[in-house]
Amino acid sequence: MAAPEDSSQPHLAPGCRWAAEKTAGAEETRVILFPEGAIKLQGTGRQVLERCDGVRTFAEIIAELQAQFKEADSEKIRGDISTFLEQLQKKRIVDY
């Protein structure tokens, strides 16, 4: 599977959806439900997928996260997010 291009608009694949999981802590945990199971998302992974709304482009998602994590290497952010989305596309959780 190919890496997302700057103009790609990542979104959840058909059959996938967000769900909330209640935990003992104050923060609600979000999970992605998909036909083969569920993935619990926290931290940066959650921030990336919350931006995969089918409206934002891959370039816009990268720019938002680079602005949020100014101290991190911008090329590392791009590479890590590209790899993350490729893995989710292989599992049929994300399309772009």
Contact 81, 61 (CB under 8 A): yes
d(CA 54, CA 9): 5
Q: Which CATH superfamily groups domain 11-91?
A: Coenzyme PQQ synthesis protein D (PqqD) (1.10.10.1150)
User: Region 43-67: what's the mean pLDDT?
Assistant: 96
d(CA 8, CA 84): 14
Residue 26 has pLDDT above 70, yes or no: no
Question: What b-and-e string marks burial along 20-55, b requiring 16 or more CB atoms within 10 Å of the CB?
Answer: eeeeeeeeeebbbebeeeeeebeebebbbbebbeee
pTM of the prediction? 0.87
